[in-house]
């Protein structure tokens, strides 16, 4: 891992002191830009900052929502959220930034919000809390306000390693100016996060381009994953994929216990949502609620059946037994078409097939006559299975590694019928020749029992 989360005493390191000294020399030698850093924690009280940070625009107030580590049962940090007002009426963040954009002061308002969030954070933060700050990519990439925003943060007194810059979703491409801006922030020691992954425009390409430390999954993903076994398994694989890219994963928008348990089963690093704590201006209250809610879940997080290994499910046991009868009959010389009747006695048995020891299929699939309405072949060629090479399938390779054992695959899409299947397989010897015997379960029908 590239860093410890969170780093301690980062400002005391010689490298960072040298960096700040060098930047101070540059600022003394170069005439200031109009958009110079405006952070001075001594020039205003917190209340007056609400009005003074961006006069003429919606008033700024900060709320904080904890980002929790389920493994530790406590907040790893807090996301700062805008609570704006215009006169006596509340103003949504979208409305507030829309007003700023219409006035041609979007970047200025973004920086004002950032300074206010940091000021409030410094009032309650301990020496481990990390601050998550949302920032629009256009502001980060702006040639004047982008560097000035970095200056604001550097001069705030919060060590860069305790600030996570969340890059909000924007246009689909990743402009080079944004890549450069993120690299600059990373060079100062700030952590980088990508927000709303999976539902908006933040995609895997942007993960590769920006190499974030944290990826926050859009709330839509956990909502849909909690309602479907198939979606839940896809979420598990997505988290694995992002972990392989070297990022921490935050699941946002958790509102129910089931969503919290599923997030833990997917091995997400952090969670966030109303189930644990609502955003609060008084951070002490939300912290206590967060810890209570997390503690209440500790004994339940690993109880979810949704992501158990398929081979461990009780519902698979009858299919294992039937596959054993099929295998014994096939090895004793019974034609596979006849032997298949043992397997087809199970409700959701779909097909039986035989591969040689190189992975080539011997003969066509033997299909159950009960599930024709489930089959969804899209390409006529794929319906012809004889001679197809399945040597890259895990059920084939695992059967070769464990001869004689019954292998139970994880769910995957069958190219023969575009169904979600689980394959039982075994390497067997018949008359001196090696074969892999396979049998598919129509898992998209069976998993409805599990949801």
Burial of 315 (0-12, 13-18, 19+ CB in 10 A): middle
Domains of the chain (ranges plus CATH)? 36-297 (3.20.20.450), 310-449 (3.30.450.20)
Helices (H) and strands (E) in the chain, counts: 16, 16
* Whole-number pLDDT of residue 297: 56
* Whole-number pLDDT of residue 366: 96
Q: Where are the alpha helices (DSSP H) in 10-92?
A: 14-29, 46-52
Each residue's pLDDT tens digit in the chain (451 positions)?
A: 344 455 433 333 334 433 333 333 333 233 333 344 444 444 433 443 444 556 778 888 899 999 998 877 888 999 999 998 888 888 888 888 888 888 888 899 999 999 999 999 998 888 889 999 999 999 999 999 999 999 999 999 999 999 999 998 766 566 889 999 999 999 999 999 999 898 666 688 889 999 999 999 999 999 999 988 888 888 999 999 999 999 999 999 999 989 998 998 888 999 999 999 999 987 764 454 455 455 545 555 544 545 667 888 889 999 999 999 999 999 999 999 999 999 999 999 999 999 999 999 999 999 999 988 777 766 778 888 999 999 999 999 999 999 999 999 988 888 888 888 999 999 999 999 999 999 999 988 887 655 4
Backbone phi, psi, residue 447, to 5°: -70, -15
* Whole-number pLDDT of residue 377: 67
Residue 406 structure tokens: 């019954």
* Whole-number pLDDT of residue 49: 42
Report the alpha-carbon distance of residue 294 to residue 35 in Å, rounded.
43
pTM score above 0.85: no
Compute CA distances 415 → 19, 44, 79, 311, 420, whole Å.
57, 66, 44, 22, 9
Residue 442 structure tokens: 């129509």
Q: Where are the alpha helices (DSSP H) in 298-379?
A: 317-331, 336-344
* Whole-number pLDDT of residue 389: 95
Q: Where are the alpha helices (DSSP H) in 155-272?
A: 176-188, 204-210, 219-225, 229-244, 257-265
């Amino acid at each position: 891992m590239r860093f410890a989360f969170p780093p301690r005493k980062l400002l005391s390191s010689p490298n960072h002191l040298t960096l700040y000294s060098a930047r101070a020399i540059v600022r003394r030698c170069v005439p200031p830009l109009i958009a110079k850093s405006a952070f001075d924690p001594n020039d205003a009280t917190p209340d007056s900052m609400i009005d003074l940070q961006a006069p003429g625009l919606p008033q700024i107030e900060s709320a904080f929502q904890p980002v929790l580590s389920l493994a530790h049962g406590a907040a790893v940090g807090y996301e700062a959220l805008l609570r704006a007002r215009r006169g006596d009426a509340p103003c949504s963040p979208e409305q507030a930034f829309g007003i700023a954009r219409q006035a041609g002061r979007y970047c200025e308002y973004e920086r004002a919000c950032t300074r206010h969030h940091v000021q409030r954070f410094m009032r309650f933060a301990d020496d481990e809390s990390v601050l998550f700050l949302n920032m629009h990519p256009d502001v980060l990439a702006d040639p004047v306000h982008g560097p000035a925003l970095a200056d604001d943060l550097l001069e705030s007194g919060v060590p860069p390693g305790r600030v996570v810059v969340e890059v909000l979703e924007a246009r689909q491409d990743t402009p080079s100016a944004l890549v450069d801006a993120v690299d600059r922030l990373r060079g100062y020691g700030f952590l980088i996060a990508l927000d709303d992954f999976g539902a908006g425009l933040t995609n895997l390409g942007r993960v590769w381009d920006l190499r974030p430390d944290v990826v926050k999954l859009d709330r839509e993903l956990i909502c849909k994953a909690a309602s479907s076994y198939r979606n839940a398994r896809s979420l598990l694989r997505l988290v694995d994929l992002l972990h392989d890219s070297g990022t921490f994963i935050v699941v946002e928008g958790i509102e129910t216990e089931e969503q919290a348990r599923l997030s833990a089963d997917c091995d997400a690093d952090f969670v966030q949502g109303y189930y644990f704590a609502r955003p609060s201006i008084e951070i002490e209250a939300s912290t206590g609620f967060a810890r209570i809610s997390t503690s209440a879940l500790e004994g339940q997080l690993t109880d979810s059946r949704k992501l158990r290994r398929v081979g461990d499910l009780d519902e698979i046991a009858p299919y294992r037994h039937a596959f054993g009868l099929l295998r014994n009959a096939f090895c004793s010389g019974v034609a596979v078409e006849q032997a298949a009747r043992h397997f087809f006695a199970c409700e959701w048995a779909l097909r039986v097939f035989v591969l040689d020891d190189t992975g080539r299929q011997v003969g066509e699939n033997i299909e159950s006559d009960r599930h024709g309405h489930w089959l969804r072949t899209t390409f006529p060629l794929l319906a012809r299975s004889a001679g197809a090479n399945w040597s890259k399938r895990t059920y084939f390779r695992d059967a070769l590694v464990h001869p004689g054992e019954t292998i139970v695959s994880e769910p995957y899409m069958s190219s023969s019928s575009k169904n979600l299947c689980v394959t039982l397989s075994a390497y067997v010897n018949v008359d001196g020749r090696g074969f892999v015997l396979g049998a598919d379960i129509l898992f998209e029908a069976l998993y409805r029992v599990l949801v």
